[in-house]
Amino acid sequence: MMTSRFWLTTAAVACACGVVALAQQPAPAPVFTAQQAAAGRTAYETNCASCHQVDLGGSNEAPQLAGASFIGQWGERSVSDLAAYITKAMPPDNPGGVGQPANTNIVAYILQANGAVPGTQPLTPQTTSAIRAVAMRQAPPAAPAAAPAQAGGRAGGAGGDGDGAPAPQSLKGLILKGDIPNYVPVTDEMLRNPDAGDWLMVRRNYQGWSYSPLTQITRDNVKNLRLAWVWAMSEGGVNEPMPLAHNGILYLVHTGNIVQALNGRTGELIWEYRAGPDVGGAMRNLAIYQDKLFVTTSDARMVALNARTGELAWDTRFADSTKGYRAATGPIVIKGKLLQGLNACDRFKESGCYISALDAATGRLLWRFNTVARPEEPGGDTWGKQPMMFRAGGETWITGSYDPELNLTYWGTAQAKPWVPASRGMSALDKALYTSSTLALNPDTGKLAWYFQHAPGEALDLDEVFERVLVDVDGRKFVFTIGKPGILWKLDRQTGQYVSHKETIFQNVFDTIDAKTGAVTYRGDILEAKVGDWISACPSTEGGHNWQAMSYHPGSGLLVIPISQSCFEIRGRQVDMKEGSGGTQADRRFFEMPGSDGNIGKLAAFDVRTMRQVWTYDQRPSFLTSVLTTGGDVAFVGDLDRNFRAFDVRNGKILWQTRLGTSVQGYPISFSAGGRQYIAVSTGLGGGSPRNVPRLIAPDVKHPTTGNALYVFELPETN
């Protein structure tokens, strides 16, 4: 087992342009040309913006590259240090792959974004000027934003910035107009009880099972599975899609906010709409209701398209992207409302983070729930002495679930920001509601019914934001969830009462977990950690469990969960307490988990009644897809090493496997078309810590650096 630690700054697990803290140099003359900065902007938008955002504002693990936070971390180092770091470490999937000329131009663009003035002297990788001196020749302007889109099309909304206001239509719009004959509108009843061959929402049903009841593909014949067709997807960004399927038609969202309708049997393109912006991070799911398809864009807009033709119905902004807000998942439709989460809430601002509900017919804002309690609200006294300005975090970047009988929707929330309590001017004893919690909301009003906080005062970037899976066991209603600490939680979903938990991997973050209440107690050194103190913990910020969803298989009563095994050390930074600052603000270094024998990936099944582990399959590469289980007793999952496999859901035996073009990443689904069952899965790059941490501690696992695509499999036809 490899035991050496691998240094990783916050930027290195992000995307193409990273930073570390840096020695004062004399004030120089201009060190780059305007032509270099212009070329650097193009290279940045192609290679960096999908993680660090078009406006250089950063998002979650990808730090801000323009403004006080950047200067605070990089100001005392030289331009050549920045150029060398980017060339050596970025992008994480292909260090140095952008090439030295482009990297040099990217550095010029970053300097210009931080107030540096161009001149006649070209920038070179050997330029030794101090970044602070160069950047502070004039006051730093606001980070450059993307070119404004042209207005057009019909928009719904109540007006007002980030308040259901109409958003401008994309420059590109409908690229290919098509028509789906005999389209059947999706009703509320169809969402509650979907046809076996359809996949109409995130994780397929309101309960979040990621399970298909189709039975043509079984444990006995899955060995005969073959490729039916493959569809190349847009490159240059994070690819983690979950297609929708309705009456044999697939709806697919690409990086760059491209939406397509495909014939599920043949792979033929029917229509394509480009919602813009052209760059952006992953978009994990779409939604469909009545005659409309809903796509959430990376810049926090909701776009409604005619599901039959791809034409624009309305385009509404639900959060202000100029304040840094972003989105990475689509909505869930509940009784004509689009419930939408939010991410990139890590910067200090008065508005905080929230869940929105929009009218599916018009895009009008109906309600919001603040996931960060305001001082005057219940829970507002749990943020220490911090005013609203400095209460960051609480993102909802995984879409929630819904119980139609209780009329409650269940969402997970991310941790408070910055990651380390001392960096945010707080203690780990300050609960910081409603972060790191399960929330049960009334979808009609947005009113909170109950909450359960899994990790009060969360201190190590160990999110609890992921899927909530609803299962009835012996007549009692439960909600299951698992987060980065790798703890599987079982709660009563009617009351929020703690029932039980299961530690699925080795963890040493919590000294105790109360068997009656579920209350956790941090280790003493975590509670006492100050800015600059290194803290070692297992698991790491890779997870435990991350965005790759578990699946519930009702026939066996098993939850099949993709899990990762790695550990890390984390050190919080000093943070400038002013508007626009904040962020994640920590350095990290990673190492293999003790007792794992070098196996990072773990796939395990747990009994929902007893919480007992029934079987496990461990391997060195991490699993990078959600799990799909089927009525044929098969579990499908893909990994970093390009393997896509079928497991026997009852015992974990491998039944079939194939190797695809690059890492298998995203959310596999099963659907039917023309009376036949299909399995669809995507390959892709990006994906944050779940793929970048293994890249550091398991460099022997290699994969191509291109290959975003959708693969569809079928059984051979029989006579």
Give, as one character, the DSSP assignment of residue 47.
H
- Enumerate residue ranges in the chain where pLDDT < 70: 1-28, 50, 59-61, 68-69, 72-73, 92-96, 136-171, 280, 719
Give, as one character, the DSSP assignment of residue 292.
E
pLDDT at 94: 63
pLDDT at 1: 41
pLDDT at 95: 67
34-47 and 100-113 helices, crossing angle to 10°: 100
591: burial class by Cβ within 10 Å (0-12, 13-18, 19+)? Answer: buried
Q: How many CA within 13 A on the CB side of residue 367?
A: 13
This prediction's pTM: 0.86
CA–CA dist 179, 153 (Å, integer): 20
Range 438-451 burial, b when 16+ CB lie within 10 A, else e: bbbbebeebebbbb
Per the CB < 8 A criterion, the answer to whether 607 and 620 are in contact is: no
pLDDT at 341: 98
State pLDDT tens for residues 48-95. Answer: 876 777 778 776 667 778 876 677 668 878 888 888 888 877 776 566
pLDDT at 139: 39
pLDDT at 20: 39
State pLDDT tens for residues 305-362. Answer: 999 999 999 999 999 998 989 999 999 999 999 999 999 999 999 999 999 999 999 9
pLDDT at 551: 98
pLDDT at 165: 44
**Which contacts qualify for 506-509: CB closer than 8 Å, 24 or more apart?**
506/538, 506/539, 506/565, 506/593, 506/594, 506/595, 506/596, 507/538, 507/539, 507/544, 508/537, 508/538, 509/460, 509/462, 509/485, 509/537, 509/538
